[in-house]
Amino acid sequence: MLTIVSCTAETTAPKSDATENKSADQVDLAPTDSQSADTQAVEDQASDAQPADALPVFTPEELSKYNGKDGMAAYVGYEGKVYDVSKIKAWKNGIHQGKYEAGQDLTDILNNVAPHSPKNLTDNAPVVGTLEQN
């Protein structure tokens, strides 16, 4: 009886060590299809590294809160994305050229009315979300 107990303990310990070492190596290197738990761990790390995937979706009502007034940030919608124009001098207090206001989708105005390229927006303002599509 004593011999059987001793054997069990010896075989269990090395197996456990081997599994831990293998698992750590696979997370550091590339994921393998054969180890679903490790693959899941790597996928989780990948999504943490790509916050663009997790950007919030704004309804028109939510976007309207970000009008640049009373200390709120100034966001504008353009072609399905939401841009933060708070740090752009030409958008001080959420107003641009005395008449265009933040907190709304300005795709049509930027594409058809503005005398400048949409790059004024897309090159200078960070994307902070996406616009809900109807």
Distance of alpha carbon 96 from alpha carbon 67, whole angstroms: 11
Site for ligand HEM in 62-101 (CB under 6 A): 76, 78, 85, 88, 90, 96-97, 100
- Between 63 and 121, name the residue whose CB sits nearer to ligand HEM: 121
Give the H or E element holding residue 6: helix 2-28
State whether residue 58 is helix, strand or coil. Answer: strand
Report the nearest approach of ligand HEM to the CB of residue 24 (Å).
47
Q: How many helices (H) and strands (E) does the chain have?
A: 5, 6
CA angle 92, 117, 83 (to 5 degrees): 45
User: How far does CA 24 lie from the centroid of its chain?
Assistant: 27
Report the nearest approach of ligand HEM to the CB of residue 116 (Å).
4
Applying CB under 6 A, which of residues 63, 74, 110, 131 lies at the interface with ligand HEM? 110
Report the nearest approach of ligand HEM to the CB of residue 92 (Å).
11
Contact residues toward ligand HEM (CB under 6 A) are 76, 78, 85, 88, 90, 96-97, 100, 106, 109-110, 113-116, 120-121, 124-125
